[in-house]
Copies of this chain bind each other. A is one copy, B any other.
């Protein structure tokens, strides 16, 4: 059982892919005109129904990308992985539906709505803008206040209310384990988040892409089941949402990034000194116990967090990352050297990012007045 509110790590992707009908992404690559780094490098590793999205991209047909953010804790590098995808699809012409899951955070993490709003805007949205999100074709909204257009708001909330008829209690508890009213409400809100871009008040039937980590797949499957029931009842016509699945950026110590442990991630707010300290002290290394042993046996880049950070985000040049891999693997490059490269790349990126973020603040209002 995959628990989207738990913190267990997903060990066996292949087994899960088989069980839940997720197809490998790689065979699609040759058909994608300008695949994103995350696609090329297999960080986006699986999909369900991406063919429909690809068709839209190729034929310039309307499609949209829907995703959400949970406004708690620091915005860190792990979050940036998803944001890069948002910006990639926005660049391809997709309308972006960006949901602040504040009702879910209110219910599940017990944080007040005002605080959640502040965090969503000042910590998340600002970073999204700095990373390249544009206000045009972006519908940024809060679950707690969908729109300034009453027709849109009412239809979004109506769909939450209606979805409760299209799912059984047993289905929900099979996915989420022990249920609470707050969990049920959060699950149904997320169903409406994913499906409502297809309501007539939002432009009607269209293809929707939802990029997720595999731990979010229960939500997706539930949503597809519910969409199918609305279709079969001839009540609302939905196209089945498409999904891509991406690997998570590893936590510095290995395992998952945890917002309760700042040493498990690099925050967008970390100073150069903090970045250096975190990478040097905490980043799990694939190096050997001694320089001598490392030179002899070589490092293990696959499990090295610094290498993974370069691979997933900070060294986009395929030849350069291959050379780093080879040098580290062969023992030519030491862990200290690998870490220095990573520190320099992240520090430069965040320096530039902080400048962009200052400018981003002026653009916040353009996202809020919808």
Chain A positions near chain B (C-beta within 8 angstroms): 103, 106-107, 110, 112-113, 143-150, 153-155, 157-158, 160-162, 164-165, 167-169, 172, 179-182, 184-186, 188-189, 235
Q: How far is the CA of A286 from the CA of B25 in the complex (A)?
A: 78
Q: How far is the CA of A149 from the CA of B235 in the complex (A)?
A: 26
How many monomers of this chain does the complex have? Answer: 2
Give me the 6 closest cross-chain CB pairs, A-B, nearest first: A164-B185, A103-B161, A157-B157, A145-B154, A164-B181, A150-B150
Is the CB–CB distance between B150 and A107 below 8 Å?
no
Q: How far is the CA of A132 from the CA of B189 in the complex (A)?
A: 39
A161 to chain B: which residues have CB within 8 Å? 103, 106-107, 143-144, 185, 189
A186 to chain B: which residues have CB within 8 Å? 164
A189 to chain B: which residues have CB within 8 Å? 161
10 pairs of residues in contact across A and B, judged by CB atoms under 8 Å: A103-B162, A106-B162, A107-B164, A144-B161, A144-B162, A146-B154, A147-B150, A150-B150, A153-B153, A172-B181
Q: How far is the CA of A145 from the CA of B155 in the complex (A)?
A: 7
A181 to chain B: which residues have CB within 8 Å? 164-165, 167-169, 172, 184, 188
Q: How far is the CA of A160 from the CA of B107 in the complex (A)?
A: 11
A146 and chain B: residue at smallest CB distance: B154
Q: How far is the CA of A168 from the CA of B158 in the complex (A)?
A: 23
A145 to chain B: which residues have CB within 8 Å? 154-155, 158
Is the CB–CB distance between A169 and B164 below 8 Å?
no
Indicate the member of A107, A154, A180, A235 with the most B CB atoms within 10 Å.
Answer: A154
Indicate the member of A107, A110, A181 with the most B CB atoms within 10 Å.
Answer: A181
Indicate the member of A106, A164, A168, A169 with the most B CB atoms within 10 Å.
Answer: A164
A106 to chain B: which residues have CB within 8 Å? 161-162, 165
